[in-house]
């Protein structure tokens, strides 16, 4: 017959191994810091410099819309602003965990605004283009406000 002691010992060994394994997973989880490291601030400063250059060029887009120059409006969106979403998402991933969801949401909104401007330019719809341009400016500025002041200060220095 089966030796019940050896079966019981085997079950206890498995339960012990499982408990140690589960405890090890919990201990291995690394909590994200609540402040930025100097490396993170430096990286954010580099990303912010690129974003600020794009933000400084947005009035050119407004001028193209006001002139109803639809071809160059679309070219500007796909050219100089073509990498805007990627750069904004890079910044969003570098922010602290509590700021990431709103940063990702704002990055998507800016992108959606630019897509709407592109569509309005394609349809030569001035009212829709200028409305979405204003929303893009507002959303972009709100996104930039999420970047810590230390990263923006390093940029100015």
pLDDT (tens digit per residue) in 29-83: 555 557 888 888 888 888 889 899 999 999 999 999 999 999 999 999 999 998 9
Total structural domains within the chain = 2
Q: Are 64 and 72 contacting, i.e. CB atoms less than 8 angstroms apart? A: yes
The answer on 42 and 19 residing in a single domain is: no
The answer on 132 and 108 residing in a single domain is: yes
The answer on 104 and 56 residing in a single domain is: yes
CA distance linking residue 42 with residue 32, whole number of Å: 18
Which of 5-19, 54-68, 116-130 shows the lowest per-residue confidence on average (mean pLDDT)? 5-19
The answer on 132 and 112 residing in a single domain is: yes
Q: Which of 138, 117, 137 is nearest to 128 (CA)?
A: 117
The answer on 89 and 44 residing in a single domain is: yes
Residue 71's domain spans which residues?
A: 37-156
Mean pLDDT across 103-132: 96
């Amino acid at each position: 017959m089966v030796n019940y002691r050896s079966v019981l010992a085997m079950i206890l060994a498995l339960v012990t191994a499982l408990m140690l394994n589960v405890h090890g997973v919990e201990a291995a989880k690394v909590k994200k810091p609540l402040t930025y490291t100097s490396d993170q601030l430096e990286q954010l400063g580099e990303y912010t410099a690129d974003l600020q250059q794009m933000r400084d060029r947005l009035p050119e887009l407004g001028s193209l819309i006001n002139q109803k120059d639809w071809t160059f409006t679309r070219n500007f969106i796909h050219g100089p602003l073509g990498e805007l979403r990627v750069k904004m998402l890079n910044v969003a991933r570098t922010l602290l965990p509590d700021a990431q969801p709103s940063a990702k949401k704002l990055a998507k909104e800016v992108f959606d605004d630019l897509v709407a401007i592109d569509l309005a330019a394609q349809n030569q719809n001035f009212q829709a283009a200028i409305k979405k341009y204003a929303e893009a400016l507002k959303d972009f500025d709100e996104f930039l406000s999420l970047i810590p002041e230390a990263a923006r200060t390093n940029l100015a220095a």
